[in-house]
């Protein structure tokens, strides 16, 4: 197993020079979700699949109209650049079985030894399980994971997420069943905002807890 990293030109010259590959990404409202398909579409790219993932209908606030406008804009960007791709619509809160079925369909339609997983706009519950299953499957010979940065302006200074759910384990990443120790050290990595970190603390409030908080 080789785990080099670098910008796309370096990775392309090292692993994609004359090799056939396919792309699995997410079609979203973010303009950067178009970056990898635009850069890597070409004669060696045998297929591009972009999953469109919809928020729950009862999400609050409801940004579905704005999301649809921006997503349609990105569709036009791809089409105007002659990018041919297949797409399907999935629910953000898809079950683990649903996610495994998606991976199965990707695996069944695989036509190249190298798969590029563009995690740029994928929710964690999607790309975490997709990557885990890919790495465990002998069907995927070579896997390249890409991520497009937010751009020169950086991330918004407003909230990155609203109406967040209580903290929970990602699909297929449940902890092993074992006896809980009397003393617990809980490490929490806080990225841009804490979201529902209170729910985690309430889960451990009756335990002898040592709290370690890491900020990006």
Q: What is the pLDDT of residues 25-67, one digit of tens each?
A: 999 999 999 999 999 998 899 999 999 999 998 888 888 999 9
Q: Taking 60 as the threshold, does the pLDDT of residue 184 lie above it?
A: yes
State mean pLDDT over 177-181: 58
Contact 119, 164 (CB under 8 A): no
Cα–Cα distance between 199 and 216 in angstroms, integer?
Answer: 20
DSSP state of 32: G
Q: Taking 80 as the threshold, does the pLDDT of residue 124 lie above it?
A: yes
Contact 139, 109 (CB under 8 A): no
pTM over 0.85? The answer is no
């Amino acid at each position: 197993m080789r785990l080099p990293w670098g910008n796309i030109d370096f990775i392309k010259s090292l692993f994609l020079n004359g090799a056939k590959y396919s792309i699995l990404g997410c079609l979203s409202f973010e303009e950067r979700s178009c970056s990898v398909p635009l850069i890597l579409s070409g004669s060696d790219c045998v297929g591009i699949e972009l999953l469109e993932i919809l928020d729950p209908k009862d999400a609050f606030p409801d940004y579905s109209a704005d999301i649809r406008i921006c997503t349609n804009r990105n569709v036009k960007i791809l089409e105007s650049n002659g990018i041919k791709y297949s797409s399907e619509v999935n629910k953000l809160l898809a079950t683990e079985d649903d996610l495994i079925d998606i991976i199965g369909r990707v695996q069944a339609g695989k036509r190249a030894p190298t798969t590029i997983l563009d995690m740029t706009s994928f929710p964690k519950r999607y790309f975490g399980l997709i990557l885990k299953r890919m790495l465990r499957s002998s069907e995927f010979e070579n896997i390249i994971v890409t991520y497009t940065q937010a751009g020169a302006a950086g991330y918004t200074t407003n909230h990155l997420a609203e109406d967040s759910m209580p903290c929970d384990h990602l699909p297929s990443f449940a902890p092993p069943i074992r006896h809980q120790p009397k003393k617990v050290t809980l490490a929490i990595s806080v990225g841009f905002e804490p979201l529902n970190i209170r729910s985690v603390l309430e889960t451990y409030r009756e335990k002898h807890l040592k709290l370690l908080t890491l900020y990006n």
